Amino acid sequence: MTDVNFSLSVDRPSPARPAPSDVPIDMIELLFFAYRDFTSDPDAALAEFGFGRAHHRVLHFVSRNPGLRVTDLLAILSITKQSLARVLKQLVEEDYILQEPGPVDRRERLLFATERGHALALRLMRLQAERIRSALADLPQEGREAARSFLYNMIDPDQRADVAQLIGHNKDQAP
């Protein structure tokens, strides 16, 4: 933490802007802080391996969706092929992911997590799961469903069906 000193607690004479009443600023900021801390646990663990957040995302979706194609992964992550290249290459070289030609279409290089890969993916997942579990703990069942719906509805409408199908491996539910 070298030079970063924490203090916060802003009591300054802040006249704070009129804040248009139709803007849910609190939700905007909460989403920022929630995501900031949500990613902090795996980021710390990944540093041990010399990996970054990009490796995590790739590994996660491959682990969850064995046989994923490169093209699918690009669509999921909303990045370009070139951005994926180095990260994927590293994961393959270090034996977290392996590629196999598609049995029906041999142009495809289907992606699978190795045992090592699954193990790391699971470890990272547990870190995030723990945070989520405790965040949902106080909520009644309807509250949990509401939180889930909220997140789902934050996704671009034209992407929702794909996402629903993708995560449908685990639990089923549309909106």
* Footprint (CB under 8 A) of its own copies, residues 97-136: 110, 118, 122, 125-126, 128-129, 131-136
32-71 footprint of its own copies as x/- string (CB under 8 A): xxxxxxx-x----------------x--x--xxxxxxx-x
CB of 9 to DNA, least distance (A): 11
DSSP string, 46-112: HHTTT--HHHHHHHHHHHHSTTB-HHHHHHHHT--HHHHHHHHHHHHHTTSEEEEE-SS-TT-EEEE
Q: Does 4 bind its own copies (CB under 8 A)?
A: yes
Q: Does 10 bind its own copies (CB under 8 A)?
A: yes
Of 15-23, 44-52, 116-124, 138-146, the window that binds DNA (rule: CB under 7 A) is 44-52
Nearest-CA neighbor of 29 among 55, 10, 1? 10
Among 2, 9, 14, 21, binds DNA (CB under 7 A): 2
How far apart, in whole angstroms, are the C-alpha atoms of residue 84 and residue 165?
Answer: 23
19's tokens: 């804040």
- Cα end-to-end span (Å), the chain: 42
How far apart, in whole angstroms, are the C-alpha atoms of residue 36 and residue 31?
Answer: 8
Q: Does 159 bind its own copies (CB under 8 A)?
A: yes
Among 44, 81, 85, 86, binds its own copies (CB under 8 A): 81
Phi-psi region of 67 (alpha: psi -120 to 50; beta: other; left: phi over 0): left
Judged by CB under 7 A, the chain residues 53 through 82 that form the site for DNA are 53-55, 57, 69-71, 78-82
Q: Does 171 bind its own copies (CB under 8 A)?
A: yes
In this structure, are residues 132 and 153 in contact, taking their beta carbons and an 8 Å threshold?
A: no
CB of 19 to DNA, least distance (A): 24
Instruction: Write down how long the chain is.
Output: 175
Binding footprint of DNA on the chain (CB under 7 A): 2-3, 5, 7, 50-55, 57, 69-71, 78-83, 85-89, 99, 102, 104-110
